[in-house]
Structure formats: structure tokens, C-alpha cells
């Protein structure tokens, strides 16, 4: 019997902010994702993840080879397809990074780094169908640091070869997603963009208020002109006595007026 588990020293909590592609910028409005072409075994009953007496294969980060699947599925487990989703690490403390040689552990601030993380097919679909522009996902994951040298410059598709160098790859200890109402965050790229949008909004609102006031004055002048050309309404009263409705009227276009 084989018992496998991930290195618990680098199972750590990270928060990843996933942003949708902007439809106005040529995007499709969905989260960045990639088909990993691999499968993983997970329990049929998600509540069994809490049973520490069971050593799930997925808890060790085991999955099928690329382009393959499992020939044997143990009882109580099922096969799910794996995807990777992309985001930015936020609101996370220093993380531990294991080195390839020796037993050295480095600590680094991950905030602002790009992070890809594995996710089950149904969970990926669940997230894609959410209507929030930004979703914050928190996970207990096996975190790897990408130190691979991809060269410099751009490839034939115009992408920066070093875009992934220094990024993170996270394999959740348990493939289970739980999302609460996410924090409402702006879709702006930076604080300077927010200030620029605010300034334009203030100018637009001031112009709208001025136009509304100008239109109000114009409407008031039109109404006053129409009232001056029409019969005066009957007086309901004076300072000294009550004027009977329909009685003698004093106003424009009234031959009896004095």
C-alpha cells in the first residue's frame, strides 16, 4: 500500500484575485483558464474531505499523465477533469518557497505576483457563470515558484517570453471550492485610472447639472409665457374676503376685469 502526501511545510494559505477578460478590450468576459488535459480522483461525497483517516490521492496532488486518465477508479471516488485558472495574489502574508537542491526554504512576499492554480472542471464552470467582475478565492495549497528561464524578448505570437518567470503555481491540498460573496472591487487597472475616471465623472455630472438647470429655466419661461396668454384662474381668496369660485375675475383677457 502506498501512502503519499505533499510536503506540509509549504501547504499554505493564499488568496488569488481573478479578473475577467474585458469584452470592450477584445476579451470574452470570462476568467482566464487553460485545459490541463489531465484528470484527478476526488471523493463522490465532498464532505469526506474532512475525514483525516482517509488518504485521498488528490490530497497528495496526484493526477493522471497529460492526455490520459485513470484505468481504475476506487470505490467512493470519481474522476474530474483539471483546469488551470489565472489570477493575482493579494492580501497574503509571506509564503515559503522550497528549493530544488538541498532542504532550504525561502520566504517571499507574493502579493502582486501572477498565480495559476488547479481547479476541477465543475468548479471552473461554476466560477465562469458568476456575474461578479472580480472574485477572490482563498485556498490551502501546495505553492510552487516558477524559476524557469524562458529566454528574453517575444515569441512568434508577440508574447513576452518572461511573462511566467517569477509566477506561482498552486495545487490545492483538497480540490474543493467554497465561494462566499466576494469583496466588491473596482475593475480599474490602477489608482491613477480611478482618479482620472472620477475627475471625468465630476465634469460630466457638472455639465449634466448645468444642462438640467438651463432646461429648467427654458421650461419655466415657456410655462410663464403660456400662462400670461391664457385666462387667469379664479381666485380662491383675498386678504379681506373670500372670492366665490366662478365669480368676477380680474385678470388678462377678462372683459369684466378692472
Residues near 208 by Cβ (< 8 Å), separated by ≥ 6? Answer: none
Q: How far apart are CA 11 and CA 209, in angstroms?
A: 56
pLDDT of residue 117: 92
pLDDT of residue 83: 92
Same domain membership, residue 207 and residue 172: no
Residues near 252 by Cβ (< 8 Å), separated by ≥ 6? Answer: 228, 229, 231, 232
Domain annotation covers residue 1: no
Domain annotation covers residue 162: yes
Same domain membership, residue 100 and residue 154: yes
The overall pTM is greater than 0.75: no
Same domain membership, residue 105 and residue 59: yes
Average pLDDT by stretches of 10, the chain with 258 residues:
66 86 66 88 76 62 82 85 90 84 79 90 85 80 83 76 82 67 59 80 81 80 79 58 52 49
pLDDT of residue 201: 81
Residue 90 belongs to what domain range?
A: 8-187
Same domain membership, residue 148 and residue 58: yes
pLDDT of residue 194: 77
Domain annotation covers residue 3: no
Domain annotation covers residue 248: yes
Beta strands, E only, the chain = 11-19, 33-43, 77-89, 95-98, 105-108, 114-120, 134-145, 168-172
pLDDT of residue 257: 47
Tally of domains within the chain: 2
Q: How far apart are CA 19 and CA 31, in angstroms?
A: 6
| Cβ–Cβ < 8 Å for 164, 132 | no
Residues near 62 by Cβ (< 8 Å), separated by ≥ 6? Answer: 4, 40, 41
Amino acid at each position: 500500500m502506498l501512502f503519499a502526501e505533499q510536503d506540509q511545510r509549504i501547504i499554505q494559505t493564499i488568496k488569488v484575485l481573478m479578473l475577467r477578460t474585458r469584452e470592450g478590450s477584445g476579451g470574452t468576459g470570462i476568467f482566464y483558464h487553460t485545459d490541463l488535459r489531465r484528470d484527478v480522483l476526488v471523493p463522490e461525497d465532498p464532505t469526506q474531505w474532512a475525514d483525516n483517516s482517509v488518504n485521498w490521492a488528490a490530497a497528495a496532488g496526484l493526477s493522471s499523465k497529460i492526455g490520459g486518465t485513470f484505468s481504475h477508479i476506487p470505490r467512493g471516488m470519481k474522476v474530474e477533469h483539471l483546469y488551470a485558472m489565472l489570477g493575482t495574489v493579494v492580501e497574503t502574508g509571506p509564503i515559503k518557497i522550497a528549493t530544488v537542491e538541498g532542504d532550504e526554504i525561502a520566504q517571499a512576499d507574493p502579493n502582486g505576483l501572477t498565480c495559476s492554480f488547479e481547479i476541477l472542471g465543475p468548479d471552473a464552470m461554476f466560477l465562469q457563470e458568476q456575474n461578479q467582475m472580480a472574485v477572490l478565492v482563498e485556498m490551502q495549497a501546495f505553492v510552487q515558484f516558477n524559476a524557469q528561464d524562458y529566454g528574453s524578448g517575444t515569441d512568434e505570437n508577440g508574447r513576452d517570453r518572461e511573462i511566467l518567470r517569477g509566477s506561482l503555481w498552486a495545487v490545492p491540498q483538497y480540490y474543493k471550492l467554497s465561494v462566499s460573496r466576494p469583496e466588491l472591487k473596482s475593475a480599474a487597472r490602477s489608482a491613477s485610472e480611478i482618479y482620472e475616471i472620477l475627475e471625468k465623472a465630476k465634469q460630466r455630472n457638472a455639465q449634466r447639472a448645468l444642462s438640467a438647470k438651463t432646461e429648467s429655466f427654458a421650461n419655466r419661461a415657456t410655462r410663464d409665457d403660456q400662462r400670461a396668454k391664457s385666462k387667469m384662474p379664479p381666485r380662491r381668496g383675498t386678504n379681506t374676503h373670500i372670492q366665490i369660485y366662478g365669480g368676477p375675475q380680474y385678470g388678462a383677457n377678462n372683459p369684466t376685469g378692472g
